């Protein structure tokens, strides 16, 4: 155990996390100003461009939308993206930038991929190197990466505005989208891409080079605009990789430094959003309960993950040929990185709903798999760009509702009352999550899809492993995470799992978004009540701990039975 | 009133246990059951299990681990769960009904003497009276229905409603005209205009409310219902899919009774079962404190209040002025002044007079002895507006307002006049004291703050409620009283319509406001306030406008109602938290049991969940389910009485209740389940229990082993 955890990498872990949390208040305040349409750095160049874009769309920042209209615009844009991706992938063989002559995708794979990229999931059912063309990646997939991240951020901004408005409007979707791209995603992804190039990540339109290794023969090394792809993918919590091996590939993530840098890129937006919230509602202290909750949960998760990857499994010590396994679970872990650093990347990636992998999750310890699953159950610690924080706000609405009852007052948050409708929408958004994991799973079982039926083997461990793989896949899709636990015994590329996955991702994305906008709209329609001494003070340690407990209990309560069937049953 | 016995709503009436028992079984009726959706789900599952227990062979895939005793056990405990839920509701209803019965007793068979247009009267049943009819009520007769006195004055005994034995004075004109149906005229004769029809009077409203007929779910209750329903649906999904998913893996196969047990245990049945009882008992508690709330919503709103507007006189101050200071005229000794005050008040029984005597007695002034028969009391009369005493030697001692004393013919010296004016400005009332026709000095009377009001106002502040005092006094007086009583704010020189202005202002700032009032000119403000507590001795207009009426005429009752409103919410919140943390422990009992039952004992990951070390899976499930059922009757007293509530800052309350009900729920479930498991394990080892089990299985046509 000691051999796997060295002090220096632990310091690296603490340092990078501390660094991002130190930047987060500042960057969050910037995000807040962006969504308040306040003057920010870069207005001189970008504001005229944005004005032009608004004129083109036919809207104006002064035109505020109610939730219904906002949702309509959101569905229009996202629907457009979805259709474009579907058509592009289906006909990619006939479209530009296809030097490797990749064939068009099948109807169901195109459906899965289009849904996956539109919903910020980026769960891929194809092999990047042979099933998607460079054109599809650069022109279609990257477009979705911008717009899906911008959609998430816009939804969060709209929901948060509810706390400071009284006229029932939540903002202008088109304006939010444009500013998300021009002020956040585009400039930062360019800067981060340049940093990655500096670290050795390829950035070229050349498709591949042929290498001649000393072992003889030839090796095709696939290339492309990897640095820009990678930086946007992680910044916007998309998580798709240029390579199938994602961030475990030395071309996408060459060094320990780049590994830590990418961790910072993934953390930036999700960890800053609570501060953007505080900026918009003009109450600095209100960011801390959320940051506190996120830090507590991520710290515990990371601790458990590292510990269970490091602890030797006594059951395996005696098995011949598994000598290495006696020293923790290094199977599947990229050996270029130390255990704490690799774990940090993996945990932050899943908890921030990025879903990029730098290890083979199918091979890690079952407890560590459970840790990752838990991050997808909460989807909000800190969760994906915008939607993660919006989910956390929904958890807070439910937590404050129960807490409000416990202190003997009609619950209110930031001066806005929490009423039946708020509870209804929050409960819908949070409780639909287990349903869209468990129901498709059961349907798959009853349907008898060959993807899993053939996989159910006769040994106990194998069936539990398959179970975990299916559970992991559906949870990842439902939470729009994209993290994949590739298990040899589960074939998720059958039409059944492609279609199911597409439906799960779309429902898991747009139903909660609709609920978030509704809750934002409800708050926006209420007049604000001045805080009094009888109001529950949310910016407090007690509330932070309480919110953490509610989050853990509600998330765990619904998933414990299936955890027992999968990862827990796998613990040997 | 036929019965002379004192009846009061305040008294807790005896609960009829036979009726409770009958009701608890009657509630198994599906039409009744469906009103509480969560219990309805349990009811459906109970029926399902009855079928399964009797015909296990029809469901071979589901009843995998069928044994008659296990299935019977689960069925019986499900029955108990429902039954306990019914009992809690039945007790709350019975308490309400008993109160209603007491009230009904009051008005049964009342007849009234109706005044006909030709001036004659005739006896009619009270039921036929319409609004606007006039009735004549003589001494000793009951008031048939709510109304306003249009002619005459009378002493009214309202003890049947209020429990207050002293009769109250009511007369035509002014603000004290209204009388409640059910009261009795003790002295005097009145003509009263009927202001409510039968079925619409306050008595009827109270009866309907405590009986639960008029009880509509309050907004918070609805929101909680939505949350619990959503949680139930999610858990249903989890459990039903678990059945298929478990059977997909080759690790375990799941038995249906176990799955049903798991679902019922995880459902928030505790709060679901007790929710109706909590609501009903909240209304009962309000009624018991002698307040008629027109809706449960008003009670809940009371818990949410931000601002209380309190009248100075009668609410914050006792309403009587008390002596605080003597002032001597320039050339008069203080002893003379004190003696004059003492003698003029010795036989004055008013609170003011007594307070003058008390103040004078504090000084060691020699007072002339009054021999019996040597003096004559000069009582207060409307013409003279002074009171005093005439001694045997003919000296008359008087005290009265400066104006009255001057009318009497005594001149008030300039310096005294100046200090009197000064005292008036400070909110005190100066009285002049005269010996013969010579004014010797003054005594100042002052409004005195009620004992205990300071503490109550502090409590309100702890609860986060701001108090605003309203008074017609000048700023200085108001400020003095405000400081003394500790109110947060005050409004001096208030006119009747000022309250309405204040309420509008507070509401515009998003606050919830309450006020008390009794006069007709209070009515608009009472109607506008979120909680308007009208005094029972006020006018009908005020009572109509308010959403609560206090039968005791005690404006500080508002504070009590606030506590009840808060308690109502806290009880719901606390039991919800308890229910949810209970679930955690139940998981740790049932999930390992499912694996053990399927023979998958060797899985160390799952075995680690079995922290309670429950080795017999069927007993583990039964003991968890039994705990889930038994916790309902255990918590019935808490649901009926409400969670103990003391004013504290919100964050303290949250912390305390989280520890008590959150942590308490977790620990009690772990301990309770383990103890029940040990008990069941012990019982199942006893031969007579086994014998009984075999006998039952034989007697009932249960499916084969």
Residue B548 has a pLDDT of 86
User: What does the radius of gyration of chain A's CA atoms come to, in whole angstroms?
Assistant: 23
Residue of A406, A530, A561 with shortest CB distance to B509: A530
Once rounded to an integer, what is the mean pLDDT over residues A441-458? 68
Tell me if B306 and A528 make a contact (CB, 8 A cut-off): no
B205-214, B332-341, B670-679: which range is least confident on average?
A: B205-214
Tokens for B705, please give them.
Answer: 């082993």
Q: Alpha-carbon distance A512 to B27, whole Å?
A: 39
Report residue B6's pLDDT band, with 50, 70 and 90 as the boundaries: very low
Say how many C-beta atoms besides its own lie within 10 A of residue A107's C-beta: 14
d(C-alpha A117, C-alpha A477), whole Å: 11
Q: What's the CA gap between A382 and A419, in Å, rounded? A: 26
| Interface check A424 vs B, CB under 8 A | yes
Map B454-490 to HEC letters.
HHHHHHHHHCCCEEEEECCCCHHHHHHHHHHHCCCEE
For a pLDDT cut of 90, what percent of chain B falls above it?
A: 17
Name the residue in chain B with its Cα closest to that of A566.
B249
| pLDDT at residue number B592 | 87
Nearest-by-Cβ selection for A565 from B249, B300, B463: B249
Closest C-alpha to B587, from B673, B518, B517, B658: B673
Q: Could you tell me which of A296, A357, A360, A363 has the C-alpha nearest to residue A328?
A: A363
Q: Which tokens is B680 given?
A: 């069941």
Task: Supply the pLDDT for residue A450.
Answer: 67
Taking contacts as CB-CB distances below 8 angstroms, the residues of chain B near A366 are 605
User: What would the mean pLDDT of A166-175 be, rounded to a whole number?
Assistant: 95
Checking if the pLDDT of B281 tops 80, the result is yes
Instruction: For residue range B380-412, list pLDDT tens digits in order.
Output: 776 777 888 888 787 888 888 888 888 888 888
Interface-testing mutation among B239, B251, B262, B282, with chain A (most A C-beta atoms within 10 A): B251
d(CA A143, CA A138): 8
The pLDDT assigned to B155 comes to: 82
Report angle CA B289, B294, B300 to the nearest 5 degrees. Answer: 70
More confident residue, B282 or A539: A539
In this complex, is the C-beta atom of A403 within 8 Å of any C-beta atom belonging to chain B? yes
Q: Do A546 and B462 touch (CB under 8 A)?
A: no
**Is the CB of residue A95 less than 8 Å from the CB of residue A123?**
no
Strands B307-311 and B513-517: parallel
Chain A contact for B410 (CB, 8 A cutoff):
no
C-alpha span between A124 and A117 (Å, rounded): 9
Nearest to A532 among B234, B464, B574 (CB): B464
pLDDT digits (tens, 9 = 90+) for B302-326: 888 888 888 887 778 776 778 888 8
What residues of chain A, 474 to 533, have a C-beta less than 8 Å from chain B? Answer: 527-530, 532-533
Residue B155 phi/psi, 5° resolution? -90, 130
Which range (A236-245, A383-392, B160-169, B273-282) has the least confidence?
A: B160-169
In angstroms, rounded to a whole number, what is the distance separating the alpha carbons of residues B337 and B664? 67
Which of residues B346 and B629 earns the better pLDDT score?
A: B629
pLDDT tens digits, B294-306: 777 888 888 888 8
Q: What percent of chain A has pLDDT over 70?
A: 93
Q: B311 Cβ partners below 8 Å, 6+ apart? A: B469, B470, B471, B516, B517, B555
- Indicate the burial class of A499 (C-beta count within 10 angstroms; 0-12, 13-18, 19 or more): middle
Mean pLDDT value across residues B506-521: 82
What is the pLDDT confidence band of residue B8, given thresholds at 50, 70 and 90? very low
Tens-digit pLDDT profile for residues A534-559: 778 899 999 999 999 999 998 888 89
Q: In sequence order, which residues have a C-beta less than 8 Å from that of residue B389 and are 6 or more positions away?
A: B343, B344, B346, B347, B375, B376, B377, B378, B396, B397
Residue of A nearest to B297 (CA): A410
Task: Give A199: exposed, middle or buried? Use CB within 10 Å, 0-12, 13-18, 19+.
Answer: middle
* 3-state secondary structure (DSSP) of residue A572: coil
Range 6-35 of A in CB contact (< 8 A) with B: none
Among B594, B131, B654, B63, which Cα is nearest to A405's?
B654
What are the CA-CA distances from residue B166 to residues B158, B357, B405 (Å)? 8, 26, 35
Put simply, the answer to whether B245 touches A402 (Cβ < 8 Å) is no
CA distances from A313 to A318, A329, B148, B321, B560 (A): 10, 8, 87, 85, 62
| Residue of chain B whose alpha carbon sits nearest to that of A526 | B510
Residue among A401, A467, A564 minimizing CB distance to B227: A401
Q: How far is A527 from chain B (nearest CA, A)?
A: 7
| Top-confidence range, A164-173, B422-431, B463-472 | A164-173
Residue B158 has pLDDT above 90, yes or no: no
Q: What is the pLDDT of residue A524?
A: 95
Report residue B555 as tokens.
């404006």
Contact B190, B142 (CB under 8 A): no
Mutate to test the interface with B, among A418, A452, A534 (most CBs of B within 10 A): A534
Say what the pLDDT of residue A557 is.
Answer: 84
Give the closest of A405, A418, A527 to B569, CB-based.
Answer: A405
Decide if B231 and A427 are in contact by the 8 Å CB cutoff.
yes
User: What's residue B601's pLDDT?
Assistant: 60
Under an 8 A CB cutoff, do B606 and A418 touch? no
**Chain B residues in contact with A409 (beta carbon < 8 A):** 303-304, 464, 566, 569, 650
DSSP 8-class letter at A323 = G
Looking at the complex, does the CB of residue B649 fall below 8 Å from at least one CB of chain A? yes
Distance from CA of B21 to the nearest CA of A (A): 31
The residue in chain A having the minimum alpha-carbon distance to the alpha carbon of residue B251 is A460
Whether A431 contacts B233, CB under 8 Å: yes
d(CA B546, CA B670): 49
Structure tokens at B624: 């968890």
Decide if A385 contacts A152 (C-beta within 8 A).
yes
The b/e string for B115-154 (b: 16+ C-beta within 10 A; e otherwise) is beeeeeeeebebeebeeebbbbbeeebbbbbbbbbeebbb
Distance in angstroms (rounded) separating the CA atoms of residues A253 and A336? 10
- Cβ contact B616:B592 at 8 Å: no
Q: What is the pLDDT of residue A396?
A: 96
Q: What is the mean pLDDT of residues B179-188?
A: 80
Scanning B548-587 for CB atoms below 8 A from A yields 565-570, 572-574, 576-577, 580-581, 583-584, 587
> How many CA within 13 A on the CB side of residue A223?
14
Distance (Å) from the C-alpha of residue A102 to the closest C-alpha of chain B? 37
Q: Cα(first)–Cα(last) distance of chain B, in Å?
A: 68
Catalytic positions of B: 311
Please, are residues A199 and A255 in contact by the beta-carbon 8 Å criterion? yes
Question: Is the model's pLDDT at A571 over the cut of 80?
Answer: no
Q: Tell me the nearest-neighbour CA distance from B47 into chain A, angstroms.
A: 25
B473 touches chain A (CB under 8 A): no
Answer yes or no: do A529 and B510 touch at CB < 8 A.
Answer: yes
* A 337-396 near B (Cβ less than 8 A): 366
Model confidence pLDDT, tens digit, residues A17-69? 999 999 999 999 999 999 999 999 899 999 999 999 999 999 988 899 999 99
The distance of A87 to chain B (nearest Cα, Å) reads 35
Distance from CA of B598 to the nearest CA of A (A): 12
Kind plus residue range of the DSSP H or E element containing B186? strand B184-188
Q: Tokens 């030395």 correspond to what residue?
A: A250
CA B43 to chain centre: 33
**CB-based contact (8 Å) between A441 and chain B?**
yes
- Res B13 pLDDT > 60: no
CB B433 within 8 A of CB B439: yes
B231/A431 CB distance under 8 A: yes
- Backbone φ and ψ for B469, nearest 5 degrees, come out as -95, 135
End-to-end CA distance of chain A: give it in Å, rounded.
18
pLDDT interval class at A283 (50, 70, 90):
very high
Look at residue A205 and give its three-state secondary structure. Answer: coil
B465 φψ region: left (φ > 0), alpha (ψ -120 to 50), beta (else): beta
Helix or strand run (H / E) with residue A220: strand A219-222
Q: Give chain B positions within 8 Å (CB) of A536.
A: 650-651, 654
- What is the predicted pLDDT for the residue at A460? 44
More confident residue, B704 or A133: A133
| Cα gap A376→A53, rounded to integer Å | 36
The DSSP call for residue A165 is -
Q: What pLDDT is attached to residue B214?
A: 56
Computed over every residue of chain B, the mean pLDDT equals: 82
User: Residues of A with CB below 8 A from B639's CB?
Assistant: none
Alpha helices in A119-225 (DSSP H): 128-131, 134-135, 142-161, 173-179, 186-199
Distance CA(B400)–CA(B406), nearest Å, equals: 9
DSSP B114-136: EEPTTS-EEEEEGGG--TT-EEE
pLDDT computed for residue B14 by the predictor: 63
Residue range B109-113: mean pLDDT, rounded: 75
Statement: residue A264 has pLDDT above 90:
yes
Residues with Cβ within 8 Å of B508's Cβ and at least 6 positions away in sequence, in order, are none
Torsion, Cα A139 A140 A141 A142, to 10 degrees, reads 40
State how far the alpha carbon of B675 is from the alpha carbons of B45, B267, B672, in Å: 26, 22, 5
- pLDDT tens digits, one per residue of A378-423: 999 999 999 999 999 999 999 999 998 898 888 889 989 899 999 9
Residues in A 180-199 with any Cβ partner in B closer than 8 A: none
Q: Which residue has the higher pLDDT, A103 or B290?
A: A103
- Residue B618, classed as helix, strand or coil, is helix
Chain A CB contacts of B651 under 8 Å are 407, 536-537, 540, 542-543
pTM here?
A: 0.85
HEC profile of B226-240: HHHHHHHHHHHHHHH
User: Cα–Cα distances in Å, from A111 out to A452, A474, A499, B94, B702?
Assistant: 20, 16, 7, 62, 53
Q: Which residue has the tokens 């199942």?
A: B684
A314 touches chain B (CB under 8 A): no
CA distance B587 to A4: 34
**B455: how many CB neighbours lie within 10 A of its CB?**
10
Task: Encode pLDDT of B87-98 as tens digits.
Answer: 998 988 888 777
Looking at chain A, which residue has its C-alpha nearest residue B649?
A534
* Interchain proximity B227–A398, CB inside 8 Å: yes
Is A405 in contact with B572 (Cβ distance < 8 A)? yes
* Dist. CA B369–CA B343, nearest whole Å: 10
Number of residues assigned to chain A? 572
pLDDT of residue B164: 58
């Amino acid at each position: 155990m000691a051999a796997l955890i060295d002090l220096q990498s632990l310091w690296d872990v603490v340092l990078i996390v501390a660094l991002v949390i130190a930047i987060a208040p500042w960057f969050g305040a910037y995000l807040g100003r962006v969504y308040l349409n306040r003057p920010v750095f870069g207005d001189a160049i970008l504001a005229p461009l944005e004005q032009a874009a608004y004129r083109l769309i036919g809207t104006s920042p002064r035109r505020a939308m109610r939730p219904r209209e906002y949702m309509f615009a959101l569905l229009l844009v996202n629907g457009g993206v979805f259709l474009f991706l579907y058509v592009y992938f289906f006909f990619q063989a006939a479209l530009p930038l296809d030097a490797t002559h990749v064939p068009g995708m099948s109807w169901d794979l195109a459906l899965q991929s289009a849904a996956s990229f539109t919903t910020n999931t980026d769960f891929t059912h194809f092999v990047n190197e042979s099933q998607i063309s460079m054109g599809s990646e650069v022109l279609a997939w990257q477009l979705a990466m911008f717009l899906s991240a911008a959609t998430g951020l816009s939804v969060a901004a709209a929901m948060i505005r509810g706390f400071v408005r009284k006229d029932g409007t939540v903002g202008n979707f088109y304006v939010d989208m444009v500013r998300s791209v021009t002020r956040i995603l585009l400039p930062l992804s360019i800067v981060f891409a340049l940093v990655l190039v500096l670290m050795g990540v390829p950035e070229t339109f050349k498709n591949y080079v042929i290498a001649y290794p000393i072992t003889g023969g030839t090796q095709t090394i696939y290339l492309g605009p990897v640095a820009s792809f990678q930086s946007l993918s992680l910044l916007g919590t998309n998580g798709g990789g240029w390579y199938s091996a994602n961030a475990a590939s030395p071309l996408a993530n060459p060094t320990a430094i780049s590994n830590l840098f990418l961790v910072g890129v993934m953390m930036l937006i999700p960890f800053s959003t609570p501060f953007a919230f505080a900026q918009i509602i003009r109450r600095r202290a209100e960011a801390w309960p959320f940051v506190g909750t996120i830090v507590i949960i991520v710290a515990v998760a990371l601790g458990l993950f590292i510990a269970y990857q490091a602890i030797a499994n006594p059951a395996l010590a005696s098995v011949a040929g598994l000598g290495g396994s006696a020293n923790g679970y290094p199977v599947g872990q990229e050996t270029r990185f130390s255990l704490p650093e690799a774990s940090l990347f993996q945990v932050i990636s899943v908890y921030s709903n990025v879903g990029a992998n730098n290890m083979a999750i199918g091979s890690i310890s079952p407890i560590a798999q459970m840790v990752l699953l838990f991050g997808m159950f909460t989807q909000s610690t800190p969760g994906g760009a915008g939607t993660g924080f919006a989910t956390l706000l929904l958890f807070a609405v439910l937590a404050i509702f129960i807490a409000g009852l416990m202190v003997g007052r009609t619950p209110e948050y930031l001066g806005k009352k929490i009423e039946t409708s708020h509870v209804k929408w929050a409960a819908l958004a949070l409780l639909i999550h287990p349903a869209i994991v468990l129901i498709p799973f059961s349907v798959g079982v009853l349907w008898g899809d060959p993807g899993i039926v053939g996989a159910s083997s006769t040994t106990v461990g194998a069936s539990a492993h398959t179970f975990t793989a299916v559970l992991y896949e559906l949870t990842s899709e439902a939470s729009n995470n994209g993290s994949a636990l590739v298990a040899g015994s589960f074939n998720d590329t059958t039409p059944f799992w492609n279609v199911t996955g597409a439906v799960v991702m779309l429902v898991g994305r747009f139903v909660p978004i609709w609920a978030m906008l509704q809750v934002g709209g409800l708050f926006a329609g209420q007049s604000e009540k001045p805080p009094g001494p009888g109001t529950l003070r949310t910016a407090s340690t007690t509330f932070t701990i309480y919110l953490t407990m509610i989050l853990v209990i509600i998330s765990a309560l619904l998933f414990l039975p299936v955890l027992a069937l999968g990862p827990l049953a796998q613990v040997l | 009133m036929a019965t002379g016995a004192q009846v009061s709503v305040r008294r807790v009436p005896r609960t009829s246990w036979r009726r409770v028992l009958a009701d608890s079984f009657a509630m198994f009726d599906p039409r009744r059951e469906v009103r509480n959706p969560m219990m309805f789900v349990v009811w459906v599952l109970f029926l399902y299990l009855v079928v399964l227990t009797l015909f296990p062979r029809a469901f071979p895939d589901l009843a995998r681990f069928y044994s008659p005793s296990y299935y019977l056990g689960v069925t019986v405990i499900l029955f108990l769960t429902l039954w306990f839920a019914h009992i809690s509701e039945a007790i709350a209803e019975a308490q309400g009904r008993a109160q209603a019965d007491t009230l009904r007793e009051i008005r049964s068979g009342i007849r009234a003497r109706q005044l006909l247009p030709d001036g004659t009267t005739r006896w009619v049943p009270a039921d036929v009276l319409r609004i606007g009819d006039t009735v004549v009520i003589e001494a000793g007769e009951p008031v048939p229905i709510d109304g306003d006195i249009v002619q005459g004055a009378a002493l009214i005994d309202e003890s049947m409603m209020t429990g207050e034995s002293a009769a109250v004075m009511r007369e035509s004109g002014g603000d004290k005209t209204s009388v409640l149906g059910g009261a009795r005229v003790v002295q005097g004769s009145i003509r009263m205009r009927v202001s409510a029809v039968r079925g619409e009077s306050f008595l009827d409203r109270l009866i309907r409310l405590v009986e639960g007929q008029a009880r509509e779910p309050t907004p918070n209750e609805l929101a909680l219902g939505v949350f619990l329903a959503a949680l139930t649906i999610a858990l249903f999904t989890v459990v039903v899919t678990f059945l298929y998913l478990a059977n997909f893996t080759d690790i375990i196969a799941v038995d249906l009774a176990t799955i049903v047990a798991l679902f019922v245990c995880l459902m928030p049945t505790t709060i679901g079962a007790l929710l109706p009882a909590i609501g009903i008992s909240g209304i009962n508690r309000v009624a018991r404190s002698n307040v008629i709330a027109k809706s449960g919503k008003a009670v809940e709103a009371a818990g949410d209040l931000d601002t209380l507007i309190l009248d100075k006189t009668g609410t914050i101050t006792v309403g009587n002025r008390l002596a605080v200071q003597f002032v001597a005229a320039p050339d008069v000794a203080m002893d003379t002044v004190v003696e004059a005050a003492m003698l003029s008040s010795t036989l004055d029984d008013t609170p003011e007079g007594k307070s003058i005597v008390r103040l004078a007695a504090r000084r060691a002034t020699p007072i002339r002895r009054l021999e019996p028969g040597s003096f004559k009391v000069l009582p207060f009369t409307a013409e003279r507006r002074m009171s005093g005493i005439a001694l045997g030697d003919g000296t008359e001692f008087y005290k009265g307002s400066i104006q009255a004393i001057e009318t009497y013919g005594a001149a008030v010296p300039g310096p005294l006049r100046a200090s009197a004016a000064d005292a008036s400005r400070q909110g005190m009332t100066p009285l002049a004291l005269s010996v013969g026709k010579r004014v010797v000095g003054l005594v100042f009377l002052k409004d005195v703050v009620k004992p205990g009001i300071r503490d109550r106002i502090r409590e309100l502040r702890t609860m986060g409620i701001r108090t605003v005092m309203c008074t017609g006094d000048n700023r200085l007086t108001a400020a003095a009283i405000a400081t003394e009583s500790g109110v947060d704010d005050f409004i001096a020189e208030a006119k009747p319509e000022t309250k309405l202005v204040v309420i509008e202002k507070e509401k515009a700032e998003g606050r919830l406001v309450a006020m008390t009032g009794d006069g007709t000119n209070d009515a608009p403000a009472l109607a506008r306030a979120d909680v308007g507590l009208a005094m029972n001795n006020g006018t009908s207009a005020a009572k109509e406008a308010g959403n609560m009426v206090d039968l005791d005429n005690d404006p500080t009752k508002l504070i009590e109602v606030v506590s009840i409103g808060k308690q109502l919410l806290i009880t719901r919140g606390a039991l919800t938290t308890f229910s949810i943390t209970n679930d955690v422990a139940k998981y740790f009992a049932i999930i390992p049991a499912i694996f053990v039952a399927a023979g998958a004992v060797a899985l160390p990951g799952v075995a680690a969940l079995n922290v309670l070390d429950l080795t017999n899976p069927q007993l583990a499930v039964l003991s968890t389910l039994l705990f889930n059922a038994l916790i309902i009757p255990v918590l019935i007293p808490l649901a009926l009485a409400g969670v103990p509530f003391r004013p504290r800052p919100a964050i303290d309350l949250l912390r305390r209740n989280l520890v008590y009900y959150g942590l308490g729920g977790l620990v009690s479930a772990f301990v309770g389940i383990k103890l029940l498991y040990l008990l069941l394990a012990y019982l199942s080892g006893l031969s007579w229990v086994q014998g009984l089990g075999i006998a039952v299985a034989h007697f009932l046509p249960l499916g084969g082993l």
